[in-house]
């Protein structure tokens, strides 16, 4: 394929001068617009203004410059169609063989916290997507380039005459993905402007994700998998920086999300969470990350083996030294000190991840056959003021602290969830059983003697009094649960029988996936 004329109009000017120079040296005539024209001309590279091609000046603050038959005819013409060739000659249209375009920085604009709607609208590109789509549609005759990273490859293929139709089809695919992502970002932003922050669900859910990497496999070796990132997000697991270790697996990433979310329930004290199969097996607060880790590990050292560990503070050398003898799959923190990296970096199979904080929670998605479930995140954070004491005995200060801690943990445990804690450490966790008393039996057996004086949290109400009875027999002294069962009084009476203080939060925290 011979490239005689190229149109270059880019917002991201990375490498554009070198690309234009390379095209010029290959004898390609260059047409350009606005700031791109100035950048290329300033480098001493011959370039034709688009206004010279169209016979019209760029107008309306640059809104109208390439929307013209002499541009789009040059891009869309089928070169071996006699009628198209005839029309080009009759109307003085010169073919455009290569289009290098990327779009106005809409995502970057709306990422600014104080951006106005008017500013966002002004950064919606019109001419750019039109040229990209036209060139991509006509890939048999036109080369479309939207990614500056491909400039060098394009130049090399022109030199070696290897701009094959197969390669141009792949460029077309990338171009439509480029405009598709762009349109999704606009639609998502405008939807949020209309619905506001009131939790309204859009009538059409429009979101696009870009692939970060292929994974070796999914939950099981026979399943294919890949990891994608939301281009509009700014933090979270998809933006984690791996400092050491082999590639993450699908299950690692799922567990990392669970551990990270729970670890960041607290900001006032260092926390440590150890997760296995998306459920916390140990969670604790401490005065230091070391203390939080030691207490979380001791909560269930057997289950912690091979777990995922998350901190809400920097991982320091002292904590890393305490972790070194133990096998963990992944260790995450907002920052990992060089000393900690030096210590844990000697372990071949551990993955060390720095994870940037998430500024805002996005909608949560779950695929079902033939559709998609979308919900807002479970970010409800009940306090003492939201709770109602329903038993004869009111909680002590220490019991309040234990229940507050337990309530934050239980919403991160698979339902049916029953957990036992002290005021800042877990003792026993019963997750995902088909009946609530079954989860309680597991948590009580795991906690053992620590049950005496412990707090019990349930993610949903008790349908019968049996769970409270099991708690009373084990020596548990305080219970926090949503309430709302038609048999609440049965549970209240059972709590009074054993001298347990019980509070209702009025909020349920089911976690099914």
Question: Where does residue 459 rank: exposed (0-12), middle (13-18), buried (19+ CB within 10 A)?
Answer: buried
CA atoms of 30 and 394, how far apart (whole Å): 80
User: CA triplet 383, 259, 414: central angle to 5 degrees?
Assistant: 70
Catalytic residue among 13, 137, 264, 324: 137
- For residue 354 the two structure tokens come to 């720095």
Percent of the chain with pLDDT over 70: 99
CA atoms of 70 and 468, how far apart (whole Å): 79
**Is pLDDT above 90 for 469?**
yes
Highest mean pLDDT, choosing among 178-187, 376-385, 483-492: 483-492
Could you tell me which residue, 292 or 79, shows the higher pLDDT?
292
The reply to whether 412 belongs to the active site is: no
**Is pLDDT above 60 for 459?**
yes
| Residue among 341, 329, 166 at smallest CA distance from 253 | 329
Positive or negative torsion for Cα 301, 302, 306, 308: negative
pLDDT tens digits, 305-318: 999 999 999 999 99
Could you tell me which residue, 63 or 495, shows the higher pLDDT?
495
Split at pLDDT 50, 70, 90, the class of 362 is: confident
Split at pLDDT 50, 70, 90, the class of 198 is: low
**Is pLDDT above 70 for 321?**
yes
pLDDT mean over 434-451: 96
pLDDT tens digits, 238-255: 999 999 999 999 999 999
* Residue that is written with structure tokens 């070198």 in the block: 18
**Is pLDDT above 80 for 1?**
no
**Is pLDDT above 80 for 13?**
yes
Positive or negative torsion for Cα 71, 75, 79, 84: negative
Buried b (16+ CB within 10 A) or exposed e, 269-299: ebbbbbbbebbbbbbbbbeebbbbbbbbbeb
Catalytic residue among 13, 21, 277, 423: 277
- Mean pLDDT is lowest, of 17-21, 354-358, 390-394, for 354-358
Give the three-class secondary structure for 259.
helix
Question: Where does residue 302 rank: exposed (0-12), middle (13-18), buried (19+ CB within 10 A)?
Answer: exposed
pLDDT tens digits, 393-408: 999 999 999 999 999 9
Pair 273, 290: CB distance under 8 Å: no
Give Cα separations from 105 to 10, 171, 207, 231 (angstroms): 10, 21, 18, 12
Contacts of 193 (CB under 8 A, 6+ apart): 117
- For residue 83 the two structure tokens come to 């009628």
Whole-structure pTM value: 0.85
Split at pLDDT 50, 70, 90, the class of 233 is: confident
pLDDT tens digits, 48-68: 998 888 888 777 877 777 788
pLDDT mean over 291-300: 98
CA atoms of 421 and 447, how far apart (whole Å): 9
The reply to whether 473 belongs to the active site is: no
pLDDT of residue 443: 97
pLDDT of residue 193: 87
Contacts of 123 (CB under 8 A, 6+ apart): 104, 105, 106, 109, 110
pLDDT of residue 199: 57
**Is pLDDT above 90 for 113?**
no
| Residue among 493, 479, 377, 501 at smallest CA distance from 418 | 479
Q: Which H/E stretch holds residue 52?
A: helix 50-54
pLDDT tens digits, 78-110: 998 999 999 999 998 999 999 999 888 888 888
pLDDT of residue 125: 86
């Amino acid at each position: 394929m011979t490239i005689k004329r190229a149109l270059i109009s880019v917002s991201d000017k990375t490498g554009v001068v070198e690309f234009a120079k390379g095209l010029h040296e290959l004898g390609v005539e260059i047409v350009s617009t606005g700031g791109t024209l100035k950048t290329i001309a300033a480098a001493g590279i011959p370039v034709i203004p688009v206004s010279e091609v169209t016979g019209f000046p760029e107008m309306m603050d640059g809104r109208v410059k390439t929307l013209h038959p002499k541009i789009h005819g040059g891009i869309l013409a089928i070169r071996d169609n006699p009628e198209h060739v005839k029309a080009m000659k009759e109307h003085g249209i010169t073919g455009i063989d290569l289009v290098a375009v990327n779009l106005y920085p809409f995502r970057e604009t709306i990422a600014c916290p104080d951006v106005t709607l008017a500013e966002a609208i002004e950064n919606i590109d019109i001419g750019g997507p039109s040229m990209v789509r036209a060139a991509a549609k006509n890939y048999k005759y036109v080369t479309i380039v939207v990614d500056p990273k491909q400039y060098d490859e394009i130049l090399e293929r022109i030199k070696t005459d290897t701009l094959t139709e197969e390669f141009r089809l792949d460029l077309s695919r990338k171009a439509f993905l480029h405009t598709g992502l762009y349109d999704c970002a606009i639609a998502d932003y405008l939807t949020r402007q209309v619905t506001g922050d009131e939790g309204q669900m859009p009538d059409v859910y429009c979101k696009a994700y870009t692939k970060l990497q292929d994974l070796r496999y999914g939950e099981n070796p026979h399943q294919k998998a890949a990891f994608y990132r939301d281009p509009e997000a700014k933090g979270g697991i998809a933006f984690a920086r791996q400092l050491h270790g082999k590639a993450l697996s699908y299950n690692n990433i799922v567990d990392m999300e669970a551990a990270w979310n729970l670890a960041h329930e607290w900001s006032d004290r260092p926390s440590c969470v150890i997760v296995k199969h998306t459920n916390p097996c140990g969670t604790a607060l401490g005065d230091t990350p070391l203390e939080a880790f030691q207490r979380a590990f001791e909560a269930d050292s057997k289950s912690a083996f091979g777990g995922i560990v998350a901190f809400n503070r920097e991982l320091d050398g002292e904590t890393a030294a305490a972790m070194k003898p133990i096998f963990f799959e992944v260790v995450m923190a907002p920052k990992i000190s060089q000393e900690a990296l030096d210590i844990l970096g000697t372990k071949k199979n551990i993955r060390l991840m720095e994870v940037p904080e998430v500024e805002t929670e996005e909608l949560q998605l779950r695929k079902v056959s033939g559709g998609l479930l979308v919900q807002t995140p479970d970010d409800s954070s009940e306090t003492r003021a939201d709770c109602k004491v329903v038993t004869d005995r009111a909680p002590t200060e220490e019991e309040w602290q234990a229940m507050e801690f337990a309530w934050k943990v239980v919403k991160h445990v698979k339902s049916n969830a029953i957990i036992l804690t002290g005021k800042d450490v877990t003792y026993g966790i019963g997750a995902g059983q088909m009946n609530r008393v079954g989860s309680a039996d597991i948590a009580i057996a795991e906690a053992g003697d620590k049950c005496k004086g412990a707090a019990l949290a349930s993610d949903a109400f008790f349908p019968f009094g049996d769970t409270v009875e099991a708690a009373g027999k084990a020596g548990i002294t305080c219970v926090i649960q949503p309430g709302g069962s038609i048999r609440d009084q049965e549970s209240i009476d059972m709590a009074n029988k054993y001298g347990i203080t019980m509070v209702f939060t009025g909020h349920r925290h089911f976690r099914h996936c």
